[in-house]
Amino acid sequence: MHPFDHTKFLGYVCEVTPQYVRVQVPTAKLLHTFYNNGQLYYGGTVGCFVVIEGVEYGFLGRLFELNLPQGEKTEITDQKIHMDDTDFHPIARIELLALFSVYHPNTITKTISRYPAIGAKVYSCSDEQIGAYISNFGIKPTDTDVPFAPIGKLTSNNAICNISLNSLFGRHCAVLGTTGGGKSWTVAKLLELTSTYTNNKCILIDATGEYSSISDDMTSIELGTGEYIFGYQKLTIDELYYLLHPSSKTQVPKLMEAIRSLKMAKIDTDGALSEYYPKDNDGQVISKNICKCQKPRRNFDVFRYRNTARIETNTCDFDFELLAQQITYECVWDNPGVWGNRVENDVSNCVSLISRVNNIMSTGEYNQIFGFKKATTLHCKDLSEEIINHINNDKKSILSVIVHNVIVENGYFHTAKV
């Protein structure tokens, strides 16, 4: 790699600022496209990469503006600008992108801690050099067996972008662009490269279904049709609050106590809380709700203390079909020793919350996503299990979860008509 080759010379630095470098081009002829050692260089066209020489460090930059001095603009003609002895002297503005050592030009430093000197020479950057920087991006000295994949070519230079897949997926990565700019194509290409060049697994959340047929090495499943559900037990308490919208002062405390009570009832396998379960006239348990009205607290508090770690979790591991009734059961006087009678004012304050719980549970669209009602989800497959099976299965490398049937309007989930 020879970054400072006189045959690729463009001009001299004539102004240095923290934002950009201004370059004086001796003749417009230096800006023309040319070949060097069989490689095409685009000279000084806007968007091209350039290198600026220094004493210890060279500078990688990108040309973003070209113009002529004011006195020469009125003299420009098609014939004069292309003459070999043209007298036009263009001025270019260059954005500095990185530093590299003149002794080890393959090593790049992204932080601009130095600036070129006035009079420093500027050269066209070779495809080899810019391609090496792209390949080295994100690679640590301790990395071994780094998988590289050709994602495409630069539009300004003709450099092939062999990217390190570790550098992309070892951190956050965003694909940004305007409508029609190729974002979907880029994501599809990344999935293809990951599938081809690595043994890693990919999980794609497909909002529109546009990726459903991009690869034969992909399994596609749809959420919102009722075939697969994301069980509400996997939701966090905060996510459940988002669905139920409880008021903070009056409804949240009752909802939280109801969830705790139902969690306790679920882990009660030996009947330690049987005295709190509602019973019929024959003494048979009607449901595993916790009825607190005029009941002694001691056994309840002891059970809660002994199982605090299993109860005070942030998951919804309880029977959702019992939640509405349990909220009503929580509306009692919180007396020490023995709970008091039902408090009708508390029940009135929770009526809207109870209605939302019943609405969510009885709405088919919600059940097709979260499976709140057991009877409607008996034959549904669990999305979480499918994801685990995909990770542990070597047959397919890409799992596409298509959610175009799931619609969010005004902060609420529902499904499209399918």
pLDDT block averages, 10 residues each, the chain of length 418: 84 92 86 75 82 90 88 68 68 92 82 89 86 76 75 77 78 86 87 83 87 82 86 92 91 96 94 92 88 94 94 93 95 94 95 94 85 82 88 83 74 52
DSSP 210: T
Q: Are 85 and 97 in contact (CB under 8 A)?
A: no
Predicted confidence at residue 414, as pLDDT, reads: 56
**Domain extents for the chain?**
6-128, 232-376
∠205-208-210 over CA atoms, to 5°? 90
Taking residue 203's Cβ as centre, other Cβ atoms within 10 Å add up to 11
Task: Please give the model's pTM, rounded to 2 decimal places.
Answer: 0.66
**What phi, psi does 114 have (nearest 5°)?**
-135, 165
Predicted confidence at residue 328, as pLDDT, reads: 96
Rounded to an integer, what distance in angstroms lies between the CA atom of residue 229 and that of residue 226? 7
Residue 399 amino acid letter = L
Predicted confidence at residue 119, as pLDDT, reads: 94
Predicted confidence at residue 418, as pLDDT, reads: 43
Predicted confidence at residue 344, as pLDDT, reads: 94
Predicted confidence at residue 185, as pLDDT, reads: 87
Predicted confidence at residue 82, as pLDDT, reads: 59
Predicted confidence at residue 3, as pLDDT, reads: 84
Taking residue 246's Cβ as centre, other Cβ atoms within 10 Å add up to 21
Q: Are 221 and 400 in contact (CB under 8 A)?
A: yes
- Please report where in the chains the tokens 């030996």 appear, as a residue: 270
